[in-house]
């Protein structure tokens, strides 16, 4: 069987090679610096060298407020500065609760600078517009990103939760490529395969960073997931001698756009175990069986 799951690292422009699993910090709200350092080191040891943060992380998921997770990471890096050299550091800006979105030049510039301060770093490797501000012209967003890049505050740019037309509009005003786009993508959320997001990534050489690849954990627990999809995941899990979460993660990795799956677990053992997904063998029959089980109808 020729597996569609490609576990080779991919290159993010000037940032070099990153693993196909990245470490997402949405739930990184533990203020015990030693414990937080241990979790980060576990992710880096597992090959998750792309670490994905955002200024709004900490506003929910048990956090205490806007900017908290960046501050926690800053505390960890202050205690163990060598960890910075092991990671490709990503963060996001453009959400300002309760507004909700602001990518105006003054705000986006200040948001990036505040992120740098909270994390205690000189540069953000991959800076992403978290959600599109529909009331800022993409030319203005592009001009701000260009300015931040020229000033050495960011290295590469990406977007998150952008439609294909929003990506195209922003790219039209940039003299350098958008490197990443973060859509929600999982075995139970196939929209990026249908709405052109992953097609555009392949067209433009953009790396998809799939958030919630386990559908918020429901593909592992089975909560709210159709019996048909769970049965298919379990069938493949038994064949591959793994669990259904490994199959669900491998399904994301199998797409030819070479998605990077964002791992959100804060459990050291679970982080290490997740890596088994990159060695799962899935062929074309397997992935189409998952698609049909997810959508509940046979493909034409």
Q: How confident is the model at residue 293 (pLDDT cuts 50, 70, 90)?
A: very high
User: Mean of the pLDDT values across residues 2-27?
Assistant: 96
- What is the per-residue pLDDT for 1? 72
Catalogue the active-site residues. Answer: 57
The tens digit of pLDDT for each residue in 227-268 reads: 999 999 999 999 999 999 999 999 999 999 999 999 999 999
The whole-chain average pLDDT of the chain stands at: 97
- What is the per-residue pLDDT for 198? 98
Q: What residue spans of 30-135 are helical by DSSP H?
A: 33-45, 68-79, 105-119
Domain topology for 18-182: TIM Barrel (3.20.20)
Contact 191, 298 (CB under 8 A): no
Question: Any idea what DSSP says for residue 128?
Answer: E
- What is the per-residue pLDDT for 61? 77
Question: Has residue 17 got a pLDDT over 90?
Answer: yes
The tens digit of pLDDT for each residue in 21-75 reads: 999 999 999 999 999 999 999 999 999 999 999 999 999 877 889 999 999 999 9
Interhelix angle 105-119/68-79, nearest 10 degrees: 40
The tens digit of pLDDT for each residue in 124-147 reads: 999 999 999 999 999 999 999 999
User: Mean of the pLDDT values across residues 257-280?
Assistant: 97
In the chain, CATH 3.20.20.100 sits at: 18-182
Question: Any idea what DSSP says for residue 209?
Answer: E
Interhelix angle 244-253/284-295, nearest 10 degrees: 110
Q: How confident is the model at residue 280 (pLDDT cuts 50, 70, 90)?
A: very high
pTM: 0.96
- What is the per-residue pLDDT for 276? 97
pLDDT above 90 covers a percentage of the chain that reads 97
Contact 198, 192 (CB under 8 A): yes
- What is the per-residue pLDDT for 62? 78
β-bridge pairing 10-11 and 17-18: antiparallel
């Amino acid at each position: 069987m020729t597996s569609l799951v490609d576990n080779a690292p991919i290159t993010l422009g000037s940032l070099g090679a990153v693993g196909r699993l990245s470490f997402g910090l949405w739930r990184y709200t533990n203020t015990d610096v030693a414990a937080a350092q241990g979790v980060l080191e576990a992710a880096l040891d597992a090959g998750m060298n792309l670490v994905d943060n955002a200024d709004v992380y900490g506003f929910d998921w048990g956090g205490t407020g806007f900017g908290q997770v960046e501050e926690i990471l800053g505390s960890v890096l202050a205690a163990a500065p060598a960890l910075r050299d092991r990671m490709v550091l990503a963060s996001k800006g453009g959400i300002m609760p309760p507004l909700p979105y602001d990518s105006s030049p003054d705000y986006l510039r200040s948001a990036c600078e505040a992120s740098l301060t909270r994390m205690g770093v000189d540069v953000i490797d991959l800076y992403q517009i978290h959600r599109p501000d529909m009331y800022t012209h993409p030319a203005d967003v592009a001009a701000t990103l260009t300015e931040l890049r020229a000033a050495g505050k960011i290295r590469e740019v990406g977007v998150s939760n952008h439609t294909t037309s929003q990506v195209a509009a922003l790219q039209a005003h940039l003299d350098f490529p958008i490197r990443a786009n973060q859509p929600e993508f999982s075995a139970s959320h196939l929209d990026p395969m249908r709405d052109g997001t992953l097609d555009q990534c392949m067209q433009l050489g953009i790396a998809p960073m799939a958030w919630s690849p386990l559908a918020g954990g429901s593909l592992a627990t089975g909560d709210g997931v159709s019996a048909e999809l769970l049965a298919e995941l379990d069938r493949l899990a038994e064949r591959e001698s793994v669990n259904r979460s490994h199959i669900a993660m491998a399904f994301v990795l199998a797409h030819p756009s070479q998605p990077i799956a964002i791992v959100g677990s804060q459990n050291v053992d679970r982080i290490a175990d997740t890596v088994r997904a990159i060695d799962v063998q899935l062929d074309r029959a397997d992935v189409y069986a998952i698609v049909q089980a997810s959508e509940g109808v046979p493909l034409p």
